[in-house]
Chains A and B, each alone.
Chain A
């Protein structure tokens, strides 16, 4: 009897894996039909940030190309665990997907390891600019500092307390460049403003992010910004306190708290994905780097829907956008 009962934890674990697996979406294979793209993402497709931006782009490209008969799209989300993500990438490549997108800067080593085994499959990863010199690897990145600068210009004009709080996750990649651009935009508009920054050391710790936002508010900040999927905690804290404004990045965050989201920098990967598909179909499987910019409409500033932005601030933002596009403004110092 006892021996049989030892299997209980194993069963429970299987149950757990099943529950986890049910969340993902899978695609069926079909020979010679649609172009097939698979995306591996670290967080959920509904994270209001990084993964959601790619998910929405894929859906848009799919609709534009004529639906599932023209573009087949499979995805694995919640892949914070890198070895799991690498296994998923290998799986998709084995199943004959034309393009496998590893949507996270933590997946670089996995791409490097898997891509050489599937020379007919295109791999793409980001945000980064390194294709590892491999002929079937694309890299893509976002010039997050551009929208950061624009947000910074607006924030500098709107703050009453002259204190702005930045709630960051980990000081790497586009989380860092967004904030560098933001700081620069604030400083260029009003150098007397104090910018306080905190980093939680995690992309996912919502509770600590909430407390970081509370700390900034207690320290006098009346405007907050930040990046990663954990900033929903910051937005919640700002909403609770009242009278605190928010600037977003990666996805349009206005739906979370319409009355306090002034603007969000939105990543639009549609152009990048379409370019990669076109390249693949033309026989170029990789080797190129794509960058989202304001000038190629990969980055957009989405003004909040429930916040009425003063006209002078809006025109300053538009001037900053124009300046970055024509090169007269450098978003990074």
Chain B
């Protein structure tokens, strides 16, 4: 057990934890925008799968990872707008339409994979980039500054999301639309437009989350590659109290515990693997029970806006 707390192991845990957190961060930050504007998108996992497939397919066929990433963003945007159409314009029950979107993404990505790629292949994805100066820092350089660009992007997105939501006029509109759509509407804010934009942005980020899996972290595509990560991302939004920093905390907690349990299995073989595997989930549930402050939930979450009602 003592071996777990040596420097190389702690470095390894931190390094793995940061890698593992990447797709959760993109997806959960995107979902934060959607939910802050009042749209509950449960289809994140389906969008991630479509993003992962598109990125992989384009990178495989063009040799360009950046084109792959762009494809994932565009496909994610389209999927997000589809969700917006169904839940904002058609005012469908969001819990149900999100599940529909998930199944659509799961089925379509599998079908496309089977018909166009056929079998599992690996590609050379985004390689780790050692940042100048920072990468040479002792310890910290090893943990934080030797990752692929998509990993840096995920962590940079956190302050950016915070800034947009809390410090810009657009962020104010998003929050208003998610809290009091009728009031926002009466002040001339276009509720529909804001919600469309946020759900679309959520889609873009979910697509990139998928791409981070298929062309940066695992460098392959397989049917149901995400195996439910999109749903964890939705849970992380609740966990994080609809705040980007909270989402960051949740994603890091979940990923670090996951990385920790892998190392624990390696170094403490007498520990039952089943218990180790349960750890991230147990801890997340416990933290969720203790930490979540439901009063921060956007008041109009999952409620379609109807002018004149409310």
Query: Could you list which residues of chain A lie within 8 angstroms of chain B, going by C-beta atoms?
Result: 2, 5-6, 8-10, 12-13, 15-23, 43-44, 46-48, 78, 80, 165, 168, 171, 196-202, 204-208, 210-212, 214-216, 218-219, 229-230, 232-233, 235-237, 239-240, 255-257
Contacts and interface: CB of A to CB of B under 8 A. Distances in A.
A48 B120 contact: yes
Contacts of A214: 16, 19
A215 B266 contact: yes
| Residue from A6, A165, A168 having most chain B Cβ neighbours under 10 A | A6
Contact of A44 (B107, B110, B273): B110
Given A229-B222, A240-B219, A216 B119 contact: no
A239 B127 CA distance: 12
Contacts, number: 175
A218 B12 contact: yes
B118 A20 contact: no
B51 to A, nearest CB: 14
Given A15-B100, A199-B276, 14 more contacts: A9-B96, A9-B100, A16-B100, A16-B108, A20-B110, A22-B111, A198-B266, A206-B218, A206-B222, A207-B217, A219-B263, A232-B122, A232-B220, A236-B220
Contacts of A201: 273-274, 277-278
Contact of A215 (B106, B225, B262): B262
Interface residues of B, number: 59
A8 B213 contact: no
Given A9-B97, A16-B104, A211 B92 contact: no
B184 interface: no
Contacts of A240: 125, 219
The A contact surface, by secondary structure, is helix
15 contacts: A5-B90, A9-B86, A9-B100, A13-B96, A15-B100, A16-B106, A18-B107, A47-B120, A201-B273, A206-B222, A207-B227, A212-B262, A214-B19, A232-B122, A232-B220
Contacts of A23: 107, 110-111, 114
B282 to A, nearest CB: 12
B114 A46 contact: yes
Given A19-B108, A204-B227, A211 B16 contact: yes
A215 B107 contact: no
B100 A198 contact: no
Contacts of B220: 206, 232-233, 236
A76 to B, nearest CB: 13
Contact of A206 (B93, B225, B265): B225
A211 B218 CA distance: 9
B223 A78 contact: yes
Contacts of B211: none
A202 B266 contact: no
Given A2-B91, A215-B16, A205 B227 contact: yes
Contacts of A197: 265-266, 269, 273
A87 to B, nearest CB: 17
Contacts of A168: 273
B259 A211 contact: yes
The B contact surface, by secondary structure, is helix
B229 interface: yes
Contacts of A256: 120-122
B265 A207 contact: no
B54 to A, nearest CB: 15
Contact of B111 (A8, A20, A205, A210): A20
A12 B274 contact: no
B262 to A, nearest CB: 4
Chain A to chain B: the 3 pairs with minimum beta-carbon distance, closest first: A20-B107, A201-B277, A16-B103
A215 B99 contact: no
B20 interface: yes
Nearest to B114: A23
Interface string B239-262: 000000000000000000011001
B180 interface: no
A217 to B, nearest CB: 10
B97 A204 contact: no
A80 B227 CA distance: 11
A20 B121 CA distance: 22
| Residue from B102, B104, B213, B262 having most chain A Cβ neighbours under 10 A | B262
B34 interface: no
A207 B20 contact: yes
Contacts of B267: 196, 219
A6 B92 contact: yes
B224 interface: yes
B110 A13 contact: no
A211 B107 contact: no
Contacts of B100: 9-10, 12-13, 15-16
A4 to B, nearest CB: 9
A8 B84 CA distance: 12
Contact of A5 (B15, B91, B227, B278): B91
B200 interface: no
A6 B273 contact: no
B263 A215 contact: yes
A237 B258 CA distance: 17
A208 B97 CA distance: 29
A53 to B, nearest CB: 13
A6 B93 contact: yes
B101 interface: yes
Interface string B70-110: 00000000000010001000111100110111111111101
Contacts of A207: 20, 23, 213, 217-218, 225-227, 229
A8 B16 contact: no
A216 B262 CA distance: 9
Interface in B149-181: none
